[in-house]
Structure 1
């Protein structure tokens, strides 16, 4: 095997690994933010906020007939 080809393959593997680690760190950060939001929501006594978090599409519009 050619040394230059092997060097390029190793370099490409390192870049792919770094990209995977970056994506994983971003995902972990998102999960931590969601965890904090859920903890705040669970500590509140506001029932309306809990209902809105569970079903955010409800209450956004109303149907009117004249």
Structure 2
């Protein structure tokens, strides 16, 4: 009986550990996405890299 309970506790601890790791990874990914969304110029440069590289000036 005690071995079954011990095995159950180990399984539960492992599940909690995996869940925490997944949450940490998701939080890191969300932070990266928020950072990229806040930098509008970087997004535009990635989306259209051929635009804005040079400027023609006539006087």
Q: TM-score, normalised by structure 2?
A: 0.71
Q: What value does the CA root-mean-square deviation take over the aligned residues? A: 1.0
Q: Name the residue aligned to 2:6.
A: 11
Alignment length (residue pairs)? 45
Shift of 1:48: 3.1
SS at match of 1:16: helix
Matched, 1:38 2:33: yes
Q: Structure 2: where are the runs of 5+ without partners? A: 48-59
Q: Which runs of 5 or more structure 1 residues have no equivalent in the other structure?
A: 1-5, 52-66
Runs of 4+ in 1 over 2 A off after TM superposition: none
TM-score (norm 1): 0.64
